């Protein structure tokens, strides 16, 4: 039986981060909507975490859960809204704070005898983010941490051996964010010490169990996998190849808006990996259908539609196929449907299959976060340059060109982007790490709807600016602009302007997400 922590999602932006922190403790976890606790099917659940929420517990539409389903039987940790919900539900009091408590705070009194705070410093920094505050805790609970402004920064009802009752713990701060300096220690105390995790979840165990499961599930059936050249689909392909070998056929569609020379480079990589890959150059169709289209969402829809048409046409040639494999990872599935069931963001590899294909769906990475996918890739001994590839949008450079798409614009952007990405790979920072490996995602954007005046030689030019974008992130839910060295930016800017015909100005995007997005379109 595989142990797991259930994280009930009340809509917090950092719920995925809680999950990643638990996985970092070599413990499997599952993020579920607040109202989907697996009642009657929780023998493998060793603990429950209640996330934060954008709501106040007093809001009429606030999300609620029946705590009696698990509280007292399984250790529970409430975070922020989760802590306030426990207090509010069990007879405590939650009131509007005099001022919103947001940002860094220091714990002033900490009960280090409580197992949740084992190893904690007395004045440890934490991160607060709430408009309400707990002014009274339920009977039977006791305060275990305070700050200058928050009396009940943490409270608990400890384990009672004679009553065979498990503890309930609650913190009004966010241990999952890096601003809470000992947050990882707190989560380790809860997951490992209090819940009793055996810490058996690892890349090696995942590969072993998944390969065995795939062999049993797929048998001798033929499987088709759509490759993108990215980390997720590549790792999924190698994992499936290890399980079923020649019964896997991969299809790699080139829509003409990949990075410079990327199609051939990726095909060469897949050949080295021993994968059976069909490469399809469908660029003529994509450019024809995109001609004159400027609206970003329409561009995405056309590319998505055309990709499905091209992929299906190739897939139908494999008449004995019974499965369609995808590189869907856990954040894809969490993002695609929020806890109210409304679509937040459409993903190219999440959704219904064409009914006429009559294929079953196989998603071998569906429980993994991006960093776990990379660890699995290393476990499978894949080349490091494939594992560390930055995320790249499904529509490719089409969403990095403002305005309509032409081959000439793609050529300009490919050349500029190639100089930028090569520069990131070659520049070694003062700590010995390349800039490419220090950022989450990077790329160039062609501002083709803007013309910029410049001077080259003795001539006046009127050409396009290029914006460079690089962000740091852990999961792309939030991102900060990367503080790249000035000498690097100066060198790249100079090289792009001198070598890329059609560009006379280079800018650097210093917007964070939120409010900006990582991609411009």
Catalytic residue numbers, as ranges:
80, 174, 176
Structure tokens that stand for 255 in this block: 């829509």
Other beta carbons within 10 Å of 386: 20
Residue with tokens 């275990």: 144
Q: Which of 174, 168, 167 is nearest to 150 (CA)?
A: 174
Structure tokens that stand for 424 in this block: 């990131």
φ/ψ of 441, rounded to 5, equals: -155, 145
Looking at 15-151, list the stretches that DSSP marks H as alpha helix, in order from N- to C-terminal side. 15-24, 81-89
Helices (H) and strands (E) in the chain, counts: 14, 19
Q: Which of 189, 192, 169, 171 is nearest to 71 (CA)?
A: 169
Burial class (CB in 10 A: 0-12, 13-18, 19+), 217: middle
Pairing of strands 125-136, 480-481: unpaired
Q: Which of 428, 31, 412 is nearest to 257 (CA)?
A: 412
Say which residues have a Cβ less than 8 Å from residue 191's Cβ, sequence separation at least 6: 5, 22, 25, 27, 47, 197
Other beta carbons within 10 Å of 315: 21
**Cβ(207)–Cβ(235) under 8 Å?**
no
φ/ψ of 29, rounded to 5, equals: -140, 160
How far apart are alpha carbons 130 and 94 in whole angstroms?
11
């Amino acid at each position: 039986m595989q142990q797991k922590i259930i994280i009930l999602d009340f809509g917090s932006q950092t719920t995925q981060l809680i999950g990643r922190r638990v996985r970092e403790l070599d413990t499997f976890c599952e993020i579920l909507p607040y109202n989907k606790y697996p009642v009657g099917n929780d023998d493998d659940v060793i603990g429950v975490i209640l996330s934060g929420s954008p709501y106040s517990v007093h809001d009429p539409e606030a999300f609620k859960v029946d705590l009696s389903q698990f509280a007292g039987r399984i250790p529970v940790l409430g975070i922020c809204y989760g802590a306030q919900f426990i207090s509010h539900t069990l007879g405590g009091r939650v009131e509007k704070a005099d001022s919103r408590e947001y940002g860094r705070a220091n714990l002033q009194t900490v009960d280090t005898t409580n197992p949740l705070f084992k190893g904690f410093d007395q004045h440890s920094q934490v991160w607060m983010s709430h408009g309400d505050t707990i002014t009274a805790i339920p009977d039977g609970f006791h305060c275990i941490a305070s700050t200058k402004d928050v009396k009940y920064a943490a409270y608990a009802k400890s384990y009672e051996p004679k009553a065979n009752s498990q503890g309930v713990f609650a913190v009004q701060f966010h241990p999952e964010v890096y601003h809470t300096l000992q947050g990882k220690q707190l989560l380790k105390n809860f997951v490992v010490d209090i819940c009793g995790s055996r810490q058996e979840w690892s890349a090696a165990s995942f590969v072993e169990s998944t390969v065995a499961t795939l062999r049993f599930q797929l048998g001798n059936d033929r499987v088709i996998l759509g490759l993108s050249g990215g980390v997720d689909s590549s790792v999924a392909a190698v994992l499936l190849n290890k399980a079923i070998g020649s019964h896997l056929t991969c299809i790699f569609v080139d829509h003409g808006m990949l990075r410079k020379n990327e199609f051939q480079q990726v095909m060469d990589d897949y050949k080295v990996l021993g994968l059976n890959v069909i490469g399809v150059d469908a660029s003529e169709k994509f450019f024809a259908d995109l001609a004159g289209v400027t609206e970003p969402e329409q561009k995405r829809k056309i590319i998505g539609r055309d990709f499905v048409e091209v992929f299906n046409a190739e897939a139908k040639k494999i008449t004995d196929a019974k499965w369609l494999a995808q590189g869907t990872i856990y954040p894809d599935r969490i993002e695609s449907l929020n806890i109210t069931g409304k679509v937040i963001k459409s993903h190219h590899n999440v959704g219904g299959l064409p009914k006429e294909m009559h294929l079953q769906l196989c998603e071998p990475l569906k429980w993994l976060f991006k960093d776990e996918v990379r660890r699995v890739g290393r476990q499978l001994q894949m080349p490091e340059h494939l594992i560390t590839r930055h995320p790249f949008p499904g529509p490719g450079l089409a969403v990095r060109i403002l305005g309509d798409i032409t081959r000439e614009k793609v050529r300009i952007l490919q050349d500029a982007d190639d100089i930028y990405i090569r520069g990131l790979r070659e520049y070694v920072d003062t700590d010995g790490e390349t800039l490419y490996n220090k950022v989450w995602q990077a790329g160039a954007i062609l501002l083709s709807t803007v013309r910029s005046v410049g001077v080259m030689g003795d001539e006046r030019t009127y050409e396009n600016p290029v914006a460079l974008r690089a962000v740091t992130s852990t999961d792309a839910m939030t991102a900060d602009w990367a503080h790249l060295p000035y000498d690097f930016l100066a060198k790249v800017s100079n090289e792009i302007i001198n070598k890329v015909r059609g560009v006379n100005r280079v800018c650097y995007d210093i917007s964070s997400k939120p409010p900006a997005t990582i991609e411009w379109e």
